[in-house]
Structure 1
Amino acid sequence: MKKTAYKKELVIRNTQQRNGSSNSRKEVRKIQSWLTLFSIQHPSSGTATSIDGDFGPATERAVKNFQRIKGLSENGVVDQGLFSELSANLKDAFERPLQSTDVRSLIAEVAENHLQNHPFELVINRQSNSGPWVRSYMDGGDGEDFFWCMGFAQTILDQAVSHVGKRFTSLMPSTFSCDSVGNAGIARGLLSKNKKIRRNSDLVKPGDLFLIESSPLDWTHTGIITSIQGDVIETIEGNTNFQGSRNGVTVRKRMRNYMRSRIDVFSIEPLT
Structure 2
Amino acid sequence: MKKNWYQKELVIKSTQKRRGDNNNRKDVRKIQSWLTLYSIQNPHSGTATDIDGDFGPATERAVKNFQREKGVVEDGVVTQEMFDLLCFNLKDAFDKPLLSDNLRDLVIEAAEAHLKNHPFELIIGGESNSGPWVRSYMDGNDGTPWYWCMGFVQAIIDQAASVLDKNFKTLMPNTYSCDTVGTIGLNKGLLTRYTKLRKDTSLIKPGDIFLIQKSSFDWVHTGIIISINDDVIETIEGNTNIAGSRNGVAVLKRTRNLKKSKIDVFSIEPLV
Q: TM-score range by the shorter chain?
A: over 0.9
Determine the structure 2 residue equivalent to 1:266: 266
Paired residues for 1:116-265 under 5 Å: 116-265=116-265
- 1:60 and 2:37 are equivalent in the alignment: no
Question: Once the two structures are superposed, what CA deviation does each residue of 1:22-60 show, in whole Å capped at 9, x if it has no partner?
Answer: 001111000000000000000000000000000000000
How far the C-alpha of 1:260 sits from its partner, in A, is 2.3
C-alpha separation in 2, matches of 1:102 and 1:182: 24
Q: Which amino acid aligns with 2:203?
A: L
Deviating 4+ runs (over 4 angstroms) = none
Question: Once the two structures are superposed, what CA deviation does each residue of 1:158-179 show, in whole Å capped at 9, x if it has no partner?
Answer: 0001100111111111100000
Question: Once the two structures are superposed, what CA deviation does each residue of 1:199-250 show, in whole Å capped at 9, x if it has no partner?
Answer: 1111111000000000000000000000011110000000000000000000
SS at match of 1:199: coil
How many residue pairs match? The answer is 272
SS at match of 1:246: coil
Question: Once the two structures are superposed, what CA deviation does each residue of 1:99-147 show, in whole Å capped at 9, x if it has no partner?
Answer: 1001000000000000000000000011000000000000011001110
C-alpha separation in 2, matches of 1:94 and 1:134: 13
SS at match of 2:198: helix
How far the C-alpha of 1:259 sits from its partner, in A, is 2.3
Determine the structure 2 residue equivalent to 1:3: 3
C-alpha separation in 2, matches of 1:8 and 1:158: 17
C-alpha separation in 1, matches of 2:169 and 2:22: 41
C-alpha separation in 2, matches of 1:176 and 1:87: 24
Determine the structure 2 residue equivalent to 1:110: 110
C-alpha separation in 1, matches of 2:227 and 2:237: 13
Determine the structure 1 residue equivalent to 2:91: 91
Determine the structure 2 residue equivalent to 1:100: 100
Q: Which amino acid aligns with 1:173?
A: P
Q: Which amino acid aligns with 2:149?
A: C
Kindly indicate whether the alpha-carbon contact (under 8 Å) linking 1:173 and 1:184 is maintained by their aligned counterparts in 2: no
Q: Which amino acid aligns with 2:215?
A: S
Determine the structure 2 residue equivalent to 1:46: 46
SS at match of 1:129: strand
C-alpha separation in 1, matches of 2:260 and 2:29: 43
Q: Which amino acid aligns with 2:135?
A: R
Kindly indicate whether the alpha-carbon contact (under 8 Å) linking 1:121 and 1:249 is maintained by their aligned counterparts in 2: yes
C-alpha separation in 2, matches of 1:95 and 1:112: 13
- Over aligned residue pairs, what C-alpha RMSD do you find? 0.5
TM-score by length of structure 2 reads: 0.99
TM-score by length of structure 1 reads: 0.99
How far the C-alpha of 1:5 sits from its partner, in A, is 0.2
Question: Once the two structures are superposed, what CA deviation does each residue of 1:60-118 show, in whole Å capped at 9, x if it has no partner?
Answer: 00000000111100000000000000000000000111110010000000000000000
Kindly indicate whether the alpha-carbon contact (under 8 Å) linking 1:211 and 1:222 is maintained by their aligned counterparts in 2: yes
5+ residue gaps, structure 2, are none
